[in-house]
Amino acid sequence: MRLWYGLTYVLWMGVEIVKGSIDVAKGAYSRGTKSSPAIVEFPLRCTTDAEIIAMASSITITPGTLVVGTAHGTEVEHPSLFVHALFAESREQVIADLTDMEDRLLTVMRGKHGAGADPQRGSGGFTDPDYVDGQAAQKIDDGAARSAAPAAPVSQHATSGDPAPGDPAAPRGVGDVEPGREEPNRSDAARSDSGREEEGER
């Protein structure tokens, strides 16, 4: 069945190439025909590398249209193609023509359900973490998770630049005890002073 869809797509593309060639020739050699170029962003339903490449190639080989840029997809947004159309009656008309082409292409790539079918894993695209778009999407998710994580509380001493209590670099005032040493007993200090006075009298 896919073979039949592929053959019909090739025949349809052949007709579109002939029609596009005639339009370009008329625009080049006829005085009354004027081009109306436009660049449109076309959001894709194609998700795998093979589908995106096939879609971009189909647009480019059709005379009068050209892919001038791409935007890779993420887990939230699908990839997009920026298409230059030489004869654009309106942006809506260009989008409608590209949507028709994509519908036919996805029927070839995914079967009769077309865009409604799930893309095959392993053929590339942003849904597969083994490919560039999948890696980019994973980095975006990791960055969002890190930014959402709560930050560690910052003490008032850290913000003011003053050393925290107990820090060896903190200046000691009168009566402060050096860390690691016990404060001497006041009664013991008084006894030692009285003993020194008695020895002096003798």
pLDDT in tens, 41-59: 999 998 888 999 999 999 9
Q: Which of 55, 181, 40 is nearest to 108 (CA)?
A: 55
Phi, psi of 7 (to 5 degrees): -65, -45
Report the predicted TM-score, pTM, of the whole model to 2 decimal places. 0.57
82-86, 122-126, 182-186, 188-192: which is most confident: 82-86
C-alpha span between 61 and 17 (Å, rounded): 7
pLDDT at 145: 56
> How many residues are present in the chain?
202
pLDDT at 179: 53
Q: Which two tokens stand for residue 34?
A: 């004027």
Residue 3: CB partners within 8 Å, gap ≥ 6? none
